[in-house]
């Protein structure tokens, strides 16, 4: 096993001393990672904070897949680059709402050639004939417009503004774990707590009726380059 750096040793020591705690205490612990001992090299960037929630579901069954989208009370500290497939009057609407890329077939052709310089793709229903064939490129990257996620919509302005404000989509992976960004390490503890509680509340609301036994198995919070702090599951 590779030897841990001084920084990683300091982080693991903090986590080991804390153990499994409630959400508020876990966030306080993550915030401590900002103020490492002076002998330890600082991170040098504002880390993303992620919540990992292991659920008692079997994603092999379609009726147990947990997915959704959320606009956090305090955003996520980053404005997303939005692409919109639309035509006619919606073109000007999308541009005025702040979309970085707006168009139709010309954008589809660029994407077929491998271009994916955007964070979210939105489409009006009348453009799905053009967007549909892009599933092989956009699907594996989580960028394919979907009515369920709210990215296939007639309300172009509303969708663009939500994603520009940091709307986040989430979906459980093959192991039944939801990974979701809840903000930045520079956020205040209360901001991270509000965002985390909003996500946990939504996850509870999305519990599939087919899920049996304990629904939320474990919860862990971590920074981009930090160990995870385990949270008391509820």
DSSP-derived 3-state class of residue 67? strand
Q: Where are the beta strands (DSSP E) in 136-233?
A: 168-171, 177-184, 216-223, 229-231
- 68-91 pLDDT, tens per residue? 889 899 988 887 899 999 999 999
Q: For the chain, which domains are there?
A: 18-75+169-231 (3.30.190.20), 82-165 (3.40.50.790)
The answer to whether the pTM exceeds 0.85 is no
Mean pLDDT of 34-56: 76
| Concatenated DSSP letters of 72-141 | -TT--S-PPPEEEE--THHHHHHHHHT-SEEESHHHHHHHHTT----SEEEE-GGGHHHHGGGHHHHGGG
Tell me if 114 sits within 8 A of 95, measured CB to CB. no
What is the predicted pLDDT for the residue at 78? 81
More confident residue, 16 or 164: 164
Mean pLDDT of 125-149: 91
Whether residue 39 is predicted with pLDDT greater than 50 in this model: the reply is: no
DSSP-derived 3-state class of residue 51? strand
Range of lowest pLDDT (29-33, 62-66, 95-99, 192-196) = 29-33
Structure tokens at 65: 């897949």
């Amino acid at each position: 096993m590779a030897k841990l750096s001084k920084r990683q040793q300091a982080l693991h020591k903090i986590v080991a001393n804390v153990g499994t705690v409630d959400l508020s205490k876990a966030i306080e612990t993550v915030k401590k990672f900002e103020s490492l001992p002076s002998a330890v090299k600082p991170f040098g960037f504002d880390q993303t904070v992620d919540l990992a929630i292991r659920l008692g579901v079997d994603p092999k069954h379609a009726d147990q897949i947990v997915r959704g989208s959320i606009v956090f009370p305090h955003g996520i500290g980053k404005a997303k680059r939005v692409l919109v497939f639309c035509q006619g009057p919606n073109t000007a609407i999308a541009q005025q709402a702040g979309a970085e890329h707006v168009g139709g077939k010309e954008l589809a052709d660029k994407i077929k050639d491998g271009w994916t310089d955007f964070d979210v793709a939105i489409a009006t229903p009348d453009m799905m004939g053009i967007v549909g064939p892009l599933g092989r490129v956009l699907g594996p990257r989580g960028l394919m417009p979907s009515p369920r996620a709210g990215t296939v919509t007639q309300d172009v302005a509303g969708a663009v503004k939500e994603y520009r404000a940091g709307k986040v989509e989430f979906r459980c992976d093959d192991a039944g774990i939801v990974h979701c960004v809840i903000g930045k390490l520079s956020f205040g503890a209360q901001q991270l707590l509000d965002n985390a509680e909003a996500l946990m509340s939504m996850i509870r609301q999305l519990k599939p009726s087919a899920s049996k036994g304990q629904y939320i198995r474990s919860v862990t919070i971590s920074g981009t380059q930090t160990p995870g702090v385990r949270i008391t599951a509820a």
